[in-house]
Chain A
Amino acid sequence: MFQKTNKMLLMVIGAVVLYVLLKIMITTGVINPYWQRVLFYSLIVTIGALGLGIIYGFTGQFSLGHAAFVGLGAYSAGYFSKTFGQYGGLSFIGALLVGMVFAGLMGFLIGVPVLRLKSDYLGIATLGFGFIVKVALDNADKIIPELGGARGMVGTPQVANLEWLFFTALIVIVLTRNFIFSTYGRACTSIREDETAADMIGVNTFKTKLMAFTFGCALAGLGGGLYAHTYPFICPGDFYFLQSFDYLIVVVLGGLGSMTGTVVTAIGWAFLLEGLRFVLGPQFVDFRGVIYALILIITILVRRQGIFGGKEFGFLVPQVRREKPDAALRG
């Protein structure tokens, strides 16, 4: 028991130290506004990618439409803020909740029919859903003019800052960790390993898949909500299938079933893309896409199980209390 509290304390201290370090670097200008944007984007990607990590990495449900849920979250949260933005921080929290709930709800509604499909077919169905969302957002201004349709939405209050993004990401990491090591999380992992076997030992596979999918989509919506309050302009093209591929790349390169991998890769990926621009300079910046593609191919050829390959940093894994096997079984 003592050891557990100790570990929790260390985690909290580590998070605070990291936050203070980032804060000092931003205020002193070590991280200039440009890299600050990259940092913010990387945190948003982390949150969304953890959602896909739950859906695909831990539950094994192949989704190629993750960015669509980020977009649904961004648009619903942005719309909420534009309507009720005058209440400051409170309305921002409200907006994030709206984004989360709306994306989660849509995930639930689309999940009920499509989660009966398996592997690649599920991927194609979710990809199709992503296209449908893009078309819907493109034409949304015909019903709600504030959404801006294909011209994009402007005018969301830019209230997201380091504190909001950093601590939301932290909360999401803790939530994800708690979910994964809960009874429900174990059930998800069992479905990933073998759905038929999971079914036979009494896991309600459909319900569990739906729960994981809804939770993952809600996290995507949360990421979207933050996105809408970090960038003054959002358009349907920001949440297209190529962005869904980005989330997939992050989750797979990090290693399926590794939260650590997802977080580290999400941050590394965002910085790699911008870092390449910086390293190559104006003369060779055209090569950025080619080099990114090569890094992608080589990484997956060398580490086919992903960079972390299902492993976690020790401090993210809760200790199992071995003295009560019954309790462990019941979770």
Chain B
Amino acid sequence: MESFIQQVINGLQLGLMYALIALGYTMVYGTIGLINFAHGDVFMIGAFVGYLGYSSWGLPWPVAIIVSMAVCAALGVIIERIAYRPLRYAPKIAALISAIGVSFFLEYGSSLKFIFGPDYRVVQRPFRSITWNLGGVSITNIQVVIMAVVIIFLLFLLFLVFKTKIGAAMRTVSFDHDAARLMGVDVDKTISFTFAIGSALAAVGGVLYAIAYPQIYPFMGIMPGLKAFTAAVLGGIGQIPGAVLGSLIMGQVETMTAAYISSQLRDAIAFAILILVLLIRPSGILGRSQQEKI
């Protein structure tokens, strides 16, 4: 029983981290209908900047997270401006290919020796790991910090999207660009803002991921990115609660499979569940089903 609770906690940690990435995917998908394949690489940049921030540049780690968020927000806005905006009203696949191109660019660009270099780096944690033992279940201070930070950002995001003016604009744009324009919403600015928020959240995820699983390298964003995107689809893409729910499920499934079945089958079972869920609910667990109008 203790070991089961232990796995639930580990799964929760992984799931919450996926949630930070998945939110960026889901918000971008909600506003412009694009699978932003470069998002996982923004997460990677976030991890690198955060790590360099508190290790090389000597910033306190919360400040390093904020610096990393700012850098990634700017990066996200620039990517959207250069690579996606010209293709916004082109067939969706064109922007998707552009996104794959941006993803390659960030990965190979970061691998260059004068940027981050191609090597795996072992991350020194900004604080010492302490393990508490609560009746057989061990919790580390790293897990507590991660869960606290993620929950704070999730609440902040919910406030932003549902209680502020710019959040209302984001929700409007996700319904209909033309109607939003008629209502006086600056669509371009709102989309830029969406990218900034999504990328900043990915940066937070990146720094926390580097602290939790202390290793970073230029291609580290691919798998968490794909998993988080899958989680967003699982929950119903375009829905903020869906992204969180999907990520939590994904985190549990992966951890439980690794613990009780086989760590090699982890990905296979996670994706098999995704396919099954899609077959039963084609637009995800919380997704709105699209009625085809003729």
Interface residues, chain A, CB within 8 Å of chain B?
A: 62, 113-114, 116-121, 123-125, 127-129, 131-132, 134-136, 138-139, 196, 241, 245, 248-249, 252-253, 256, 286-290, 292-294, 296-297, 300-301, 304-305
Residue of B nearest to A114 (CB): B275
Interface residues of A: mostly helix, strand, loop or mixed?
helix
Q: Shortest 9 CB-CB distances between A and B: which pairs?
A: A289-B108, A128-B271, A293-B105, A296-B101, A293-B104, A135-B268, A297-B101, A304-B94, A304-B90
Closest CB in chain A relative to B57 CB, distance in Å: 25
Contact size range, B: 35 or more
The 16 sampled A-B contact pairs (Cβ below 8 Å) are: A117-B282, A124-B229, A124-B233, A125-B274, A125-B275, A127-B226, A127-B271, A129-B271, A131-B271, A248-B97, A286-B112, A290-B108, A293-B101, A293-B109, A300-B94, A305-B91
**A131 lies within 8 A of B267 (CB):** yes
B100 at the interface (CB under 8 A from A): yes
- Residues of chain A within 8 A of B112, CB atoms compared: 286-287, 290
Interface residues, chain B, CB within 8 Å of chain A?
A: 35, 83, 86-87, 90-94, 96-98, 100-105, 107-109, 111-113, 226, 229-230, 233, 237, 264-265, 267-268, 271-272, 274-275, 278-279, 282-283, 292, 294
Given contacts A290-B109, A301-B83, A304-B87, contact A135 B279 (CB under 8 A): no
Tell me the complex Cα distance, A115–B237, Å. Answer: 19
Tell me the complex Cα distance, A171–B237, Å. Answer: 42
- Interface-central residue, A113, A123, A124, by most chain B CB under 10 Å: A124
- Residues of chain B within 8 A of A113, CB atoms compared: 275, 279
**B97 lies within 8 A of A249 (CB):** yes
Given contacts A135-B265, A290-B108, contact A128 B102 (CB under 8 A): no
Closest CB in chain B relative to A203 CB, distance in Å: 16
Residue of A nearest to B102 (CB): A297
**A135 lies within 8 A of B97 (CB):** no
**B274 lies within 8 A of A124 (CB):** yes
- Residues of chain B within 8 A of A256, CB atoms compared: 91, 93
Given contacts A131-B271, A132-B271, A304-B90, 5 further A-B contacts (CB under 8 A): A252-B94, A290-B108, A292-B108, A296-B101, A301-B83
Residue of A nearest to B86 (CB): A301
Tell me the complex Cα distance, A297–B100, Å. Answer: 8
Given contacts A114-B279, A292-B104, contact A297 B83 (CB under 8 A): yes
**A120 lies within 8 A of B35 (CB):** yes
- Residues of chain B within 8 A of A300, CB atoms compared: 87, 94, 97-98, 101
**A252 lies within 8 A of B97 (CB):** yes
Closest CB in chain B relative to A63 CB, distance in Å: 12
Tell me the complex Cα distance, A286–B110, Å. Answer: 11
Given contacts A131-B267, A132-B271, A138-B264, contact A124 B294 (CB under 8 A): no
Closest CB in chain A relative to B255 CB, distance in Å: 17
Closest CB in chain A relative to B111 CB, distance in Å: 7
Tell me the complex Cα distance, A118–B113, Å. Answer: 42
- Residues of chain B within 8 A of A129, CB atoms compared: 271, 275
**A245 lies within 8 A of B278 (CB):** no
**A286 lies within 8 A of B267 (CB):** no
Tell me the complex Cα distance, A288–B104, Å. Answer: 11
**A296 lies within 8 A of B104 (CB):** yes
Given contacts A121-B283, A286-B111, contact A128 B97 (CB under 8 A): no
Tell me the complex Cα distance, A322–B215, Å. Answer: 67
Tell me the complex Cα distance, A293–B38, Å. Answer: 12
**A241 lies within 8 A of B226 (CB):** yes
Closest CB in chain B relative to A268 CB, distance in Å: 15
- Residues of chain A within 8 A of B104, CB atoms compared: 289, 292-293, 296
- Residues of chain B within 8 A of A292, CB atoms compared: 104, 108
Tell me the complex Cα distance, A123–B100, Å. Answer: 14
Residue of A nearest to B222 (CB): A242
Residue of A nearest to B273 (CB): A128
Given contacts A131-B271, A290-B112, contact A301 B278 (CB under 8 A): no
Tell me the complex Cα distance, A170–B93, Å. Answer: 28
**B98 lies within 8 A of A297 (CB):** yes
**A301 lies within 8 A of B87 (CB):** yes
- Residues of chain B within 8 A of A127, CB atoms compared: 226, 230, 271
Tell me the complex Cα distance, A114–B280, Å. Answer: 11
Closest CB in chain B relative to A177 CB, distance in Å: 23
Closest CB in chain B relative to A21 CB, distance in Å: 33
Tell me the complex Cα distance, A129–B270, Å. Answer: 11
- Residues of chain A within 8 A of B102, CB atoms compared: 293, 297
Closest CB in chain A relative to B269 CB, distance in Å: 9
Tell me the complex Cα distance, A245–B101, Å. Answer: 10
